[in-house]
Structure 1
Amino acid sequence: MVTVRYFAGARAAAGTASEQVRAGSLGELLTGLTDRHGDPLGRVLGVASFLVDGVAAHDHGAALRAGCTVDVLPPFAGG
């Protein structure tokens, strides 16, 4: 299981601040979250950045270790 934490628009699209899910890779996680929460979250995930245990993650094929935390950060506006 991994913990997914949603911020800003991702939180609104998911309807929750965090959840625990099973996923073997970042790509698998994103597909599963879109299936679970629908297209509104899928659109956010398509433009979001991701942190795995506080480190930027760009490789969707990279394995996620059990117990890790994935932060979903949509683009932010403002200054």
Structure 2
Amino acid sequence: MNVRYFAAARAAAGVDEERFELPPGSTVGALLAAVLGVERPVPPAGTPPLDRILARSSFLLNEIAVRDRTVVLSDDDVIDVLPPFAGG
């Protein structure tokens, strides 16, 4: 599974995207737990830690909004992490 980070999520993760290999039948929730299990550098000043950002983020699964963290993923799925945006 590929995870792509945007805005503050990118800053907190320290990468634009990363790949995770999880067992068949893994869910969105399991993928997010794997994301949080990665040791990361301290985010830049003013950027919340990744766990706080994920708690408030929206997610796209293959470009379609997904809210249910029990959705089962396939190996070639892409999850986009979209933190809350400000502005207009």
Give me the TM-score of the superposition, normalised by structure 1: 0.92
Q: Name stretches of at least 5 consecutive residues in structure 2 with no aligned partner.
A: 41-47
The alpha carbon displacement at 1:37 in A equals 4.4
Which stretch of the first structure deviates more once superposed, 20-29 or 42-51?
Answer: 20-29
Equivalent of residue 31 in structure 1, options 33, 52, 56: 33
Q: Which has the higher helix share?
A: 1
Higher strand fraction: Structure 1 or Structure 2?
1
Q: Aligned residue for 2:3?
A: 4
Partner of 2:53: 44
Aligned residues: 78
Does 1:21 find its partner at 2:17? no
In the TM superposition, residue 51 of structure 1 has moved relative to its aligned partner by: 0.2
Among the aligned pairs, what percent are the same residue?
Answer: 44
Structure 1's unaligned 5+ residue stretches are none
Larger radius of gyration: 2
Distance 1:16 1:41 in 2: 12
List structure 1 segments (4+ residues) > 4 angstroms apart after TM superposition. none
Question: What amino acid sits opposite 2:9 in the alignment?
Answer: A
- Read off the aligned partner of 2:10 and give its amino acid letter: R
Out of 70, 76, 88, which is 1:61 matched to?
70
- How far did residue 66 of structure 1 move? 1.2
TM-score by length of 2: 0.83
